[in-house]
Structure 1
Amino acid sequence: MSAPATRWQVRAQRPVAYDVLKTPALFAPHNDALLAFGRREGARRFVVVDANVMRHHGAAIRDWFGQHGVEVHLVTHPGGEECKTLEACQDLVCELDTFPIHRRDDPIIAIGGGVLTDVVAFVASSYRRGVPHIKVPTTLMGYIDAALGIKAGVNFNGNKNRLGSFEPPQAVLLDPAFLPSLPRRHLLNGVCEIVKLAVIRDRALFAQLEADGAASIAACFANPAGEAILDRAIGGMLEELAPNLFEEELARKVDFGHTFSYGLETRHGERLLHGEAVLLDILVSVQIARQRGLLAGDDAARVFALVGRLGLAPDLRVLDSGTMWHSLLDRIEHRNGQQRVPMPAGIGQCVFLNDITRRELDAAVPALHARIKADHELVLEC
């Protein structure tokens, strides 16, 4: 008779606490917001900056650290999905090893778009089994979405974000002064994520976009209406993320637009930015919701009209029901065996579907083409 097993139970909880701070003119000489994190005496900072940001703001960033007596090692990262790799992480770790930092008192700082903040967060989660990091998003996508949560990751084996971790930042510092230097396409890339939030969870935000979205885009969100749109989008995103940071609940409203887009973006990475793929997913989802009777015709029309009013230009030529179906199958694995696809049941209302069929996708693509062709407010090509 075998002896009873011996068991030692370990139960622990890791507290998560970080602030998302709007800090205009972050690198102006008088602004000391960054000094609130980490040691000041003998401070050293390893700072990773997107190459485009470095061209526009590199001198001001370098000067700020010098003026505040912080020893800094600036590393330029090229950014872009093609650089979201393990090799990029290894390069950063090699740079880190040449510039010793205190494990708890010298946070790594990431200044750039969502790709860069993802890569740096993944490095921070791995280096010495975890060092603190601060995110300074410089794209609209990062500002209202990618930099706000605790997910970090890199692409691997032809799959987006296949390797990653949950790593809370020490802080996220939002400086709207970076937004006017964005190319229009990259500004609209972030707008697609705001549209996502509006359609699936926030009717008031949708109305704000209808009334003031176009003018806010033209002003790079530097006008009062644009600031209000961004603040509401950030607040809404954090309301969704905060109770479920580690994604224990896999039915998430913020996954709207992130089911079929996964495959489209992977296959057409040279043609589609992330938000552009999300927008296509949104439109396909609206079409499916309309076909099912979940979404009233008037609400569907408002979504299509808003896309046109904001100057968004979905490239319908890349839509392919086969690619989207395989993307859905992959998401089933990611969502632990169920589709859990968020769908609009009205502007600002969400239901989750687990029974989308290939036939529905096959029907949705030509129906969407016909709808867009008939709607002269939408631009067919980027």
Structure 2
Amino acid sequence: MSPQSILPTPGITDKLLVDSENMTSATETNTIRLTHGEKYLTSSWYKGSGEIAHKKDGRSFEVSATFTLKAEVKVVEGVFQPANETLANIYNSRGRCVAVIDQTVNELYGEQIRKYFDAHEIPLKMMAFRAWEADKTPETVHHILEFLGKDGCDVSRSEPVLIIGGGVLSDVAGLACALQHRRTPYIMVGTTVVAAIDAGPSPRTCTNGKQFKNSIGAYHPPVLTLVDRSFFRTLGTGHIRNGIAEIIKMAITDDAVLFELLEKYGPRLIETHFATLGEDEELAEIADDIIYRALFSYMKHEGTNMFETYQDRPHAYGHTWSPRFEPAVKMMHGHAVTTGMAFGATLAVKMNWLKPEERDRIIALCQSLGLTVYHPILEDMDVMIEGQKNMRRKRGEGGLWAPVPRGGIGACDYIQEVPPELLEAAVTEHKAVCGNLPNHGAGVEMYLSDLGLK
């Protein structure tokens, strides 16, 4: 059988649109571009196309494929108020809603959520899971899969699962959706600051490994993220503080205006839980603006580089060494990130990428919000160097690619390698810089145990 005889013939099937190009170059290849008909879509959120090129010797071919998805992010008010039809419009046509909810969120908002779906006459199947940092394990992912699978709700691969909770739940439940039918869509309603502006819309779903945070996972973003800051009202102040660290990282690396807003309004946002305590309408508008700017900066880079194909990722600022030292000392994630950010700023000063006064503004902002900028774990060179080795493996063959600010606040660049002698010198300098700070740079409620977590 000749190679030509195995090619699809236009007209014999309506499943594929075929565009065949005969090329008579030295390689003697034929390329066929294939585009699938819209009626065969598995889900309305995902599309794809590709091409196959084979050599005329009939012994080798190459396949190239493109996967396209749309992921929408909306800042909304009263997502579970019956008058808000955003979710009802999605689930009405599907005849039910299958939801995974954080156990604590269920205790606070479960009745309101059930009343919402009752009001719209949509059957709701909702399962609550505890989602502490200690629960960020493969076992939790398997428990969620049992609920979604044949022995539970038997979710279809075109049926969007509703996830309601914080950052841990978004990571593990998102990973479960990635595994269910190899790709099941989901909608994320983040109920913490971290989930709302970082972990929730992120395509990175994951669970922890034994020694390295978030080391097991898959790229699978929610098809829709709904951000409703009214949930922040019932959060502990420590969780507000923890989450605002993820906004700071985008301000430093991408949005100088956002940084100035945080300098001016950050303490009030923490005090009022993003203007959900009290009736300050002006602050509420500012809170929505800050949330939107943080989301836009984050997804501008994260969303358009969905599979981390490239490592010029500003949102990884503060996340180069912290994934190793955070679990070692059981720090809150936001405090570990700000420690990494402050150290990264000092490293940038050491490399003449940043002025000392700009580094000092970064440290001052973090300190004004009660976030940690220095911890003695930085002095453990074995931990720091091991963290770099782990990150090189994670980020590919090109190097460490540690993002740090360069040329002022609101811009960044990427350090390909940090030799041990530079690393140690930067730690020594950062320790000296933070030595005169209150509590030597320690933050408020900086450990998991401070907030009753394990």
Instruction: Give SS of 2:215's match.
Output: strand
Offset at residue 381 of structure 1 (A): 4.7
Q: 1:293 to 1:90 in 2, by over 3 A?
A: same
Match of 1:285 in 2: 344
Aligned pair partner of 1:327 in 375, 383, 387: 387
Aligned pair partner of 1:26 in 68, 79, 88: 79
Aligned pair partner of 2:214 in 139, 156, 161: 161
Instruction: Give SS of 1:240's match.
Output: helix
Where do residues 115-154 of structure 1 align in structure 2 (5 Å cutoff)? 115-154=168-207
Match of 2:364 in 1: 305
* Residues 1:262 and 2:315 aligned together: no
Q: Given residue 420 of structure 2, which amino acid in structure 1 is its aligned partner?
A: R
Q: 2:435, 2:441 within 8 Å by CA — same for their partners in 1?
A: no
Aligned pair partner of 1:63 in 108, 111, 115: 115
Once the two structures are superposed, residues 6-58 of structure 1 have per-residue CA deviations (whole angstroms, 9 ceiling, x without a partner) of: 234433211111211122111112222112324x2562222111112112111
TM-score, normalised by the number of residues in structure 2: 0.78
Offset at residue 311 of structure 1 (A): 2.5
Match of 1:369 in 2: 431
Instruction: Give SS of 1:207's match.
Output: helix
Q: 1:305, 1:378 within 8 Å by CA — same for their partners in 2?
A: no
Aligned pair partner of 1:47 in 89, 99, 105: 99
Q: 1:110, 1:135 within 8 Å by CA — same for their partners in 2?
A: yes
Q: 1:27 to 1:378 in 2, by over 3 A?
A: farther
Instruction: Quote the Cα distance in structure 2 between the aligned partners of 1:381 and 1:181.
Output: 22
Q: 2:336, 2:372 within 8 Å by CA — same for their partners in 1?
A: no
Q: Given residue 88 of structure 1, which amino acid in structure 2 is its aligned partner?
A: T
Q: Given residue 358 of structure 1, which amino acid in structure 2 is its aligned partner?
A: P
Instruction: Give SS of 1:374's match.
Output: coil
Where do residues 1-382 of structure 1 align in structure 2 (5 Å cutoff)? 6-38=59-91, 40-41=92-93, 43-96=95-148, 97-101=150-154, 103-222=156-275, 223=283, 224-268=285-329, 271-314=330-373, 316-319=375-378, 320-337=380-397, 338-345=399-406, 346-376=408-438, 380-382=442-444
Offset at residue 119 of structure 1 (A): 1.1
Q: 1:86, 1:154 within 8 Å by CA — same for their partners in 2?
A: yes
Offset at residue 378 of structure 1 (A): 7.2
Q: Given residue 159 of structure 1, which amino acid in structure 2 is its aligned partner?
A: F
Q: 1:21, 1:172 within 8 Å by CA — same for their partners in 2?
A: yes
Offset at residue 191 of structure 1 (A): 0.9
Q: 1:44, 1:106 within 8 Å by CA — same for their partners in 2?
A: no
Q: 1:138, 1:179 within 8 Å by CA — same for their partners in 2?
A: yes
Give unmatched runs, 5+ long, in structure 1.
none
Offset at residue 292 of structure 1 (A): 2.1
Instruction: Quote the Cα distance in structure 1 between the aligned partners of 2:197 and 2:143.
Output: 28
Q: 2:326, 2:336 within 8 Å by CA — same for their partners in 1?
A: yes
Q: Which has the higher contact order (CA 8 A, sep 6+)?
A: 1
Q: Given residue 261 of structure 1, which amino acid in structure 2 is its aligned partner?
A: S
Q: 1:359 to 1:23 in 2, by over 3 A?
A: same
Instruction: Give SS of 1:15's match.
Output: strand
Q: 1:305, 1:377 within 8 Å by CA — same for their partners in 2?
A: no
Q: Given residue 200 of structure 1, which amino acid in structure 2 is its aligned partner?
A: T
Q: Given residue 300 of structure 2, which amino acid in structure 1 is its aligned partner?
A: E
Q: 1:226 to 1:321 in 2, by over 3 A?
A: farther
Instruction: Quote the Cα distance in structure 1 between the aligned partners of 2:194 and 2:242.
Output: 7
Instruction: Quote the Cα distance in structure 2 between the aligned partners of 1:8 and 1:103.
Output: 34
Moved more, 132-141 or 241-250: 241-250
Offset at residue 296 of structure 1 (A): 0.7
Offset at residue 117 of structure 1 (A): 1.0
Offset at residue 236 of structure 1 (A): 0.9
Give unmatched runs, 5+ long, in structure 2.
1-55, 276-282, 445-454
Instruction: Quote the Cα distance in structure 2 between the aligned partners of 1:144 and 1:168.
Output: 13
Q: 1:81 to 1:208 in 2, by over 3 A?
A: same
Q: CA RMSD in A?
A: 2.1
Offset at residue 370 of structure 1 (A): 2.6
Q: 2:317, 2:341 within 8 Å by CA — same for their partners in 1?
A: yes
Q: 2:340, 2:373 within 8 Å by CA — same for their partners in 1?
A: no
Instruction: Give SS of 2:320's match.
Output: coil
TM-score, normalised by the number of residues in structure 1: 0.92
Aligned identity (percent) is 28
Moved more, 64-73 or 138-147: 64-73
Q: 2:145, 2:180 within 8 Å by CA — same for their partners in 1?
A: yes
Q: Given residue 309 of structure 1, which amino acid in structure 2 is its aligned partner?
A: S
Q: Given residue 88 of structure 2, which amino acid in structure 1 is its aligned partner?
A: L
Bigger radius of gyration, 1 or 2? 2
Q: Given residue 136 of structure 2, which amino acid in structure 1 is its aligned partner?
A: K
Q: 1:133 to 1:126 in 2, by over 3 A?
A: same
Offset at residue 364 of structure 1 (A): 2.8
Moved more, 254-263 or 163-172: 163-172
Q: 2:75, 2:227 within 8 Å by CA — same for their partners in 1?
A: yes
